[in-house]
Amino acid sequence: MDVERARRLRDKERGLHRSHPLVPQTGTRKHRELRFNKLRAWQVDQAKALLTGLERLEVAPGTLPNSLSVWYEITDYTMEGLESALIAQGFHLENTLYCKMIRALVYFCEDTQLRNMRQPERLIKKSNEIYSKAWEHHPHGDHDDTPVELRQDR
């Protein structure tokens, strides 16, 4: 059994399904991977100790030696917030072009999801009534002004 398979079995038992962090994740529970600079891999243990102290944030070793996996509710944390806090504490994240692109995509998706969650819900069930009433009051070609008594079938 390889290490990754052992981690998957362990996480399955604990209820921490370890899907790939880039797979689309429905709902508000997110699994992300924080990658640290390979030259400063010793910072991973320090970051794990720091992040473990946060409420409602689950931390586990990542798939790579220089990474951490985190699980959180998007209403509590965002990847951008976690990474900004780590950078402010002096941690160095991986800065490859790939990581920068993934980071920007995740930031955008989480920000969009949060904005959508804050919007009031629309009354979609009654929208057909609104369009029906508008259609009744709008002049269109289906209206015949001829009085009923003059309308005779010939």
Closest CA to 66 of 39, 84, 90, 88: 39
Tokens of 122: 């629309």
The reported pTM is 0.65
Q: What angle do CA 59, 110, 72 make, to 5 degrees?
A: 20
Q: What is the CA radius of gyration of the chain?
A: 27
With cut-offs at 50, 70 and 90, classify the pLDDT of residue 74.
very high
The predicted pLDDT at position 95 comes to: 92
Classified as helix, coil or strand, 116 is helix
Q: Does 80 have pLDDT greater than 70?
A: yes
Helix axes 97-118, 79-88, angle to 10 degrees: 120
With cut-offs at 50, 70 and 90, classify the pLDDT of residue 133.
confident
Give me the domains of the chain, ranges plus CATH numbers.
21-118 (3.30.70.100)
CB-CB contact of 111 with 55 (8 Å): no
The whole-angstrom separation of Cα 59 and Cα 31 is 10
Q: pLDDT tens across 91-113, in order?
A: 999 999 999 999 999 999 999 99
The whole-angstrom separation of Cα 22 and Cα 108 is 13
